[in-house]
Homo-oligomer: A and B are copies of this chain.
Amino acid sequence: MTIKLYCFGESGNAYKAALALELSGLDWEPEFVDFFGGAARTPEFRELNVMGEAPVLVDGDLTLTQSGVMQMYITEKTGKFGGATKAEEREVMRWMFWDNHKLSSQTGMLRFLMNFLPEDKRPAEVIAFTQGRLKAAYTTLNTHLEGRDWIVGDGLTNADLSCCGYLFYPEPFGFERKDWPNIDRWLGNIEHTPGWKHPYDLMPGSPADRA
């Protein structure tokens, strides 16, 4: 049975699940959600996910939402990306929660405000404030990655797949890889993982389609 992932290219949260699926070797296919056309706000979609968010993963009778839950499910099915020991498992979860709390939640919103809102609707104070908070988050990640190739242990885990969610996108949101050398090197390690794809190559939909 092919796993279906309801997603769209601009969603870094969807990318976390899509990249985990792709690199795990599971059989999956993307199903385009026209988020910018309002598809996630319809009653039908709310029925699928009261949270009104993509991604949604459907595997037979099972429907999952929240990328973190999908990542845990992929680990359960394949044994991959969850950490090699109990201590690593906890450390992976720790960075997944931190990412949801402090990193992707803010990069996702900021990128939206700075790129996908009409120019006259972009809230300058909110943008500046969020950029400040994100600098603190980048500092935390960059510090942790000093002397490490991966966030946890000796290889790619859900911690990496979660934290990188928004960091490959080309649209400006105040993040420049050159300013964060350890993050830059770590993103390079992810890019060099066999089978890696950029979000706009892995999922349908991109700003180019709407240009």
Contacts and interface: CB of A to CB of B under 8 A. Distances in A.
Interface of A: 50-52, 64-69, 72-73, 90, 93-94, 96-98, 100-102, 104-105, 123-126, 129, 136, 140, 143-144
Contacts of A73: 90
Contact of A97 (B68, B94, B125): B68
A101 B11 CA distance: 14
A147 to B, nearest CB: 13
How many copies of this chain does one complex carry?
2
A94 B72 CA distance: 11
Closest 6 A/B residue pairs (Cβ)? A125-B125, A68-B97, A66-B97, A100-B101, A100-B100, A66-B94
B51 A69 contact: no
29 contacts: A50-B143, A51-B98, A51-B140, A52-B136, A52-B140, A64-B90, A65-B94, A66-B93, A66-B94, A66-B98, A67-B97, A68-B93, A69-B90, A69-B93, A69-B94, A72-B90, A72-B93, A73-B90, A96-B97, A97-B97, A97-B100, A100-B100, A100-B101, A100-B105, A101-B104, A101-B105, A123-B125, A123-B129, A126-B126
